Structure 1
Amino acid sequence: MSDGRFNLFSFSGRMRILHLTWFAFFLSFFVWFNMAPLLGMMRETLGLSDQQVKALLILNVALTIPARIVVGMLVDHFGPRRMYSLLLAIGAFLCFAFAMADDYEQLALTRFLLGFVGAGFVIGIRMVSEWFPAKQVGVAEGIYGGWGNFGSAAAAMILPSVALMFGGDDGWRYAIALTGAIALVYSLVYFFSVSDTPKGSTYFKPRKTGAMEITSRGDYFLYLVMNLPMYGALALLAWKLGPDNLGMIGETATWLIYATLAGIYLFQAVRIHQINHHVFTEEVPEIERYKFKQVAVLDLAYLVTFGSELAVVSMLPLFFLDTFDLDPRLAGLLASGYAFMNLLARPGGGLFSDRFGRKRTLLILLGGLTAGYFLLGNITGTWPVWLAVVATMACSFFVQAGEGAVFAMVPLVKRRLTGQIAGMAGAYGNVGAVLFLTVLSFVSPQTFFFVIAGAALLVLVITALFLEEPRGHMAEILPDGTVQMIKVH
Structure 2
Amino acid sequence: MTWFAFFLTFVVWFNLAPLATQIKADFGLEESQIRTLAICNVALTVPARIIIGMLLDRYGPRITYTLLLMYAAIPCLIFATAQGFTQLVVGRLMLGIVGAGFVIGIRMVAEWFPPKEIGLAEGIYGGWGNFGSAAAAFTLPTIGGWFAFGALSPGGDPLLNWRLCIAGTGIIAALYGILYYNNVQDHPPGKTYRKPKSARGIEVTTKKDFWFLMVMNAPLSGILMVLAWRLKKVGFYGVNTMYIVWACLLGLYLFQAYNCWVVNKDLMTGKKHYPPKDRYRFSQVAILELTYVVNFGSELAVVSMLPAFFEGTFPLNPAQAGMIASSYAFMNLMSRPGGGLISDKLGSRKNTMAVLTLCMGIGYLILGTVTSSWWLPGAIILTMACSFFVQAGEGSTFAIVPLVKRRITGQVAGNVGAYGNVGAVAYLTIFSLLPEWLGGGKDPSPAIIAQANTAFFQIMGIMAVIVAFLCWFVLKEPEGSFAEHHEGEEEDHQLPHVPVMESDTSVDSIARG
Residue among 417, 421, 426 paired with 1:430: 421
Moved more, 223-232 or 377-386: 377-386
Q: Does 1:463 align with 2:471?
A: yes
Distance 1:323 1:113 in 2: 35
Distance 1:221 1:388, change over 3 A: same
Distance 1:46 1:186 in 2: 32
Paired residue secondary structure (1:442): helix
Q: Does 1:121 align with 2:112?
A: no
Distance 1:288 1:250, change over 3 A: same
The corresponding residue for 1:239 is: 229
The corresponding residue for 2:388 is: 397
Distance 1:52 1:69 in 2: 28
Task: Note if contact 1:142-1:347 (Cα within 8 Å) is conserved in structure 2.
Answer: yes
The corresponding residue for 1:72 is: 53
Counterpart code for 1:60: N
Task: Note if contact 2:403-2:479 (Cα within 8 Å) is conserved in structure 1.
Answer: no
The corresponding residue for 2:154 is: none
Task: Note if contact 2:15-2:137 (Cα within 8 Å) is conserved in structure 1.
Answer: yes
Residue among 431, 440, 450 paired with 2:431: 440
Distance 2:166 2:313 in 1: 26
Residue among 37, 40, 46 paired with 2:21: 40
Distance 1:388 1:156 in 2: 21
The corresponding residue for 1:275 is: 263
Task: Note if contact 1:40-1:328 (Cα within 8 Å) is conserved in structure 2.
Answer: no
**Cα distance, 1:137 vs. partner?**
0.8
**Cα distance, 1:83 vs. partner?**
1.1
RMSD: 2.0
**Cα distance, 1:132 vs. partner?**
0.4
**Cα distance, 1:382 vs. partner?**
4.3
Q: Does 1:229 align with 2:219?
A: yes
Aligned residue-pair number? 462
Q: Does 1:265 align with 2:246?
A: no
Per-residue CA deviation, residues 244-277 of structure 1 (Å, 9 max, x unaligned), is x222121111001111111111122122112112
Q: Does 1:184 align with 2:174?
A: yes
Counterpart code for 1:84: Y
The corresponding residue for 1:63 is: 44
Per-residue CA deviation, residues 113-149 of structure 1 (Å, 9 max, x unaligned), is 1000100000000000000011111110001001221
Paired residue secondary structure (1:249): coil
Alignment of 1:84-123 (within 5 A): 84-123=65-104
Task: Note if contact 1:160-1:332 (Cα within 8 Å) is conserved in structure 2.
Answer: no
Question: Which structure has the greater CA radius of gyration?
Answer: 2
**Cα distance, 1:84 vs. partner?**
1.0
**Cα distance, 1:153 vs. partner?**
0.9
Distance 2:217 2:382 in 1: 35
Give me the identity figure in percent.
51
Paired residue secondary structure (2:236): coil
Paired residue secondary structure (1:197): coil
Task: Note if contact 2:187-2:193 (Cα within 8 Å) is conserved in structure 1.
Answer: yes
Q: Does 1:144 align with 2:125?
A: yes
Residue among 107, 110, 114 paired with 1:133: 114
Distance 1:253 1:301 in 2: 34
Paired residue secondary structure (2:433): coil
Per-residue CA deviation, residues 337-386 of structure 1 (Å, 9 max, x unaligned), is 10111111111111111111101101110011101111222233444443
Distance 2:321 2:83 in 1: 26
Distance 2:34 2:315 in 1: 18
Distance 1:45 1:374 in 2: 38
Residue among 188, 195, 201 paired with 2:191: 201
Distance 2:304 2:178 in 1: 29
Moved more, 406-415 or 457-466: 457-466
Q: Does 1:248 align with 2:248?
A: no
The corresponding residue for 1:452 is: 460
Distance 1:403 1:477, change over 3 A: closer
Distance 1:448 1:166 in 2: 38
* Contiguous gaps of at least 5 residues in structure 2: 152-158, 435-451, 495-513
Distance 2:160 2:241 in 1: 32
Per-residue CA deviation, residues 444-467 of structure 1 (Å, 9 max, x unaligned), is 333222211121122112222210
Moved more, 193-202 or 95-104: 95-104
Task: Note if contact 1:160-1:329 (Cα within 8 Å) is conserved in structure 2.
Answer: no
Task: Note if contact 1:229-1:431 (Cα within 8 Å) is conserved in structure 2.
Answer: yes
Distance 2:93 2:308 in 1: 20
Counterpart code for 1:335: A
Task: Note if contact 2:191-2:492 (Cα within 8 Å) is conserved in structure 1.
Answer: no
Task: Note if contact 2:354-2:471 (Cα within 8 Å) is conserved in structure 1.
Answer: yes
Task: Note if contact 1:37-1:317 (Cα within 8 Å) is conserved in structure 2.
Answer: no
**Cα distance, 1:156 vs. partner?**
1.4
Counterpart code for 1:278: D
Counterpart code for 1:343: L
Counterpart code for 1:151: G
Task: Note if contact 1:373-1:450 (Cα within 8 Å) is conserved in structure 2.
Answer: yes
Per-residue CA deviation, residues 205-260 of structure 1 (Å, 9 max, x unaligned), is 11112101110011111111110111111011111112xx2221211110011111
The corresponding residue for 1:421 is: 412
* Contiguous gaps of at least 5 residues in structure 1: 1-19
Counterpart code for 1:263: G
**Cα distance, 1:324 vs. partner?**
4.1
Moved more, 457-466 or 355-364: 457-466
Residue among 8, 11, 29 paired with 2:10: 29
**Cα distance, 1:157 vs. partner?**
1.5
Task: Note if contact 1:92-1:183 (Cα within 8 Å) is conserved in structure 2.
Answer: yes
Task: Note if contact 1:308-1:436 (Cα within 8 Å) is conserved in structure 2.
Answer: yes
Query: Normalized against structure 1, the TM-score is what?
Result: 0.90
Counterpart code for 2:468: L
Task: Note if contact 2:115-2:486 (Cα within 8 Å) is conserved in structure 1.
Answer: no
The corresponding residue for 1:217 is: 207
Counterpart code for 2:404: V
Q: Does 1:406 align with 2:387?
A: no
Moved more, 181-190 or 228-237: 181-190
Task: Note if contact 2:47-2:418 (Cα within 8 Å) is conserved in structure 1.
Answer: yes
Alignment of 1:308-387 (within 5 A): 308-324=298-314, 326-356=316-346, 357-387=348-378
Distance 1:381 1:164 in 2: 33
